[in-house]
C-alpha cells in the first residue's frame, strides 16, 4: 500500500491499561479503539531478546500467546515493535463484541 494512503495514529494519543501479571503489570497493555463503528482491542505485549537472539515475551505468562501469533501472522520472522514507556512492544489488534 502506498505510504500516502496510510493513516497515522500516534501512540501518545492512546491510553493504555496495564493488564500484565502482578509481577510485571506493564508486560501487557490494553486499549480500545473504534474504526468505522467497530470496536477493536489494541493489545501490546512487551518483548525482549532471548539468549539465542530471538524475540520472546518479556513476561513468560504471554510467551505462548506471542508464539501462536508469530506462527499465524509472521512465520518468516519477528514482529516489528513500538516503543512505549521505555519498553519494546509487539502490537495486536482484534475486533470484539457487538
* Residue 59: exposure state from Cβ atoms within 10 A (0-12, 13-18, ≥19): buried
* pLDDT at residue 3 in the model: 61
Beta strands in the chain (DSSP E): 17-18, 28-35, 38-49, 55-57, 82-84, 87-95
Domains and CATH numbers, the chain: 18-95 (3.10.28)
Tens-level pLDDT at each residue, the chain (98 residues): 466 777 888 888 899 999 999 999 999 999 999 988 899 999 999 999 999 988 999 999 999 999 888 888 776 778 889 999 999 999 999 998 76
pTM confidence score: 0.85
Q: Cα–Cα distance between 95 and 38 in angstroms, integer?
A: 7
Amino acid at each position: 500500500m502506498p505510504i500516502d494512503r496510510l493513516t497515522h495514529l500516534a501512540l501518545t494519543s492512546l491510553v493504555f491499561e496495564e493488564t500484565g501479571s502482578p509481577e510485571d503489570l506493564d508486560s501487557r497493555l490494553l486499549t480500545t479503539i473504534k474504526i468505522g463503528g467497530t470496536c477493536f482491542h489494541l493489545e501490546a505485549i512487551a518483548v525482549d531478546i532471548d539468549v539465542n537472539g530471538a524475540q520472546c515475551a518479556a513476561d513468560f505468562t504471554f510467551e505462548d500467546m506471542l508464539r501462536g501469533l508469530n506462527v499465524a501472522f509472521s512465520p518468516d520472522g519477528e514482529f516489528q515493535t513500538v516503543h512505549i514507556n521505555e519498553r519494546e512492544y509487539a502490537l495486536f489488534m482484534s475486533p470484539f463484541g457487538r
